[in-house]
Each structure stands twice: as C-alpha cells, then as structure tokens.
Amino acid sequence: MWRLKRVQLGPEVDWTVGDDGYVRPPITPPVCLDDQGRVIDFGRRWGMDGPPVEAYSVVHHPERFAPLVEVAQAMVEHLARTYDVTVEDITDLDGEREPKWRPDPAETDERPVTRRAVAITPQRGDAARLIVVWSSFPGVELWAGAFFREAFPDCGCDACDEEWSVCADQLEQTALAVALGSFSEKIKGRRLETRLRRPGSSSGGTSRLKDQSYSAARIARARRLLAARPTDWQPWPRRPAAV
C-alpha cells in the first residue's frame, strides 16, 4: 500500500462532492441477518468494549459492500461527463492483479479476483491518472498518480465493522480529490510523501520507497514520472459544457 505512516491533517478544502454535480444513484443495500435472524447493524456492533477476538481476520457477509460496485461505476460515468478525459478498460496492472481482501475460510476457499479495471486519463500531462479496480470480494480500489492505492472497504473483516455507506463517501471524496487536484506525491531522497485532501478527512502519509509493494522497474518509472513534475498534481481540465 502507499502509506507506512498516516496522520490526519484536518479539513483544508473548500469543496464537497455535491459541488461537482455528482449525485449518488439510488442504492438498495443488502439486508444481512445474524444467526438469530436479526438485521445486523454494521458500523455500530461492538460498543465501548470493542470487537471480540474471534472477529479479527474473519469476513462474514462481504455482500454488504456490493453497493460500492454501483457507486464506483456512477463515479466513473460522472468523471467522464464532467472532465476532459479518456476512459478505457485495461488489463495491465503491472502484475498486481490480486485484490487485497481476504475471504472467510468458513464460507469459501476461493480468493477474490479482479473483475474489471478502468483507467481515467486526463488530457493534461501534469494531472494524475485514476484507475478504478473492481473486485469479486466485492470491493473497489482506487489507484492514482505514481503510487497511491486505497481500498474500499479498507479491510472488510468483522472486527473493523465497516459500513458500506461510509466507504462510499470516502470513495467518492477520494476520486474527486484526484480530479480536483487535491492530491500530491513527492519523492524526497528515499522517502515518498503523499497527501490527499478530502472534506473533513484530509490525510498524509510518509513511507520508504523500498517498502512499496512494487517492482524495481515500477519504482524507477514512478521516480521519473514525479521528477518530471515541478508542482503537485494539477486539477483535471473540465469539458466545456461542464465549466
């Protein structure tokens, strides 16, 4: 992943998702029941005592994240309408085709696989390309710029108790942060500094390049890419009708 250390920087942006004209499509989330037939209230299950030990590294009801597939598709369509970009399905992910999420071994022995990847490339050389990756988990990853990679959900295990709508908020904000130029990467010596500014949740990270889970060739290409830019990643150009 792109970060080794992550710190909250506080809100520093003057935009919201709605300001860009994006509207999330109507979503009917799956209803998940526990062993007693009660609806599971994800995001609020563990209380002050935290999750039980047996909830860690176990994934039940990954289907609760299925709406993220629709949200990601809606975001791709919005970006294609709003910004001067090319959108294409791709298969070359530099050999990194295995999604990060783990299956529940009690339910299946099959590991998640990448179902689709779409590259959104702005018609401006100093703006960051965004790649949207859909997994059979189900889940979505966003890759941007040289190294950035973030997953929604971040983990998906029972202990984390992530809620799909919160993940969707973060996915939408992250994609628009890249499009609006609220995203930067810099290599300083042997370290990578990354900053992403989202409404209410701006964050930054610093990591050692040797800890990046990429090949030496990929890191060399990324170094050249970042060295060629004198400034942060710039906003995507908008289509004339969207200005």
Spatial distance between the Cα atoms of 84 and 75, rounded to a whole number of angstroms: 15
The pLDDT assigned to 100 comes to 56
The pLDDT assigned to 88 comes to 97
Give residue for tokens 């889940």: 139
The pLDDT assigned to 11 comes to 46
- Cβ atoms 132, 120 nearer than 8 A: yes
Spatial distance between the Cα atoms of 61 and 82, rounded to a whole number of angstroms: 35
The pLDDT assigned to 232 comes to 86
The pLDDT assigned to 231 comes to 75
Spatial distance between the Cα atoms of 50 and 19, rounded to a whole number of angstroms: 36
Q: What is the mean pLDDT of each run of 10 residues along the chain (243 residues)?
A: 40 78 94 92 87 89 95 98 97 62 50 89 95 93 91 92 94 95 87 84 70 75 81 92 66
Spatial distance between the Cα atoms of 235 and 220, rounded to a whole number of angstroms: 25
- Cβ atoms 178, 193 nearer than 8 A: no
The pLDDT assigned to 2 comes to 37
The pLDDT assigned to 221 comes to 82
The pLDDT assigned to 242 comes to 62
Spatial distance between the Cα atoms of 115 and 134, rounded to a whole number of angstroms: 6
Name the E strands within the chain.
5-8, 85-89, 114-122, 130-135, 139-144, 148-152, 183-188, 191-196, 203-208
Spatial distance between the Cα atoms of 136 and 193, rounded to a whole number of angstroms: 31
The pLDDT assigned to 201 comes to 65
Cis omega (within 30 of 0) for bond into 138 = yes
Q: pLDDT tens for residues 229-243?
A: 767 899 999 998 765
The pLDDT assigned to 95 comes to 52
Cis omega (within 30 of 0) for bond into 237 = no
| Percent of residues, the chain, with pLDDT higher than 70 | 84
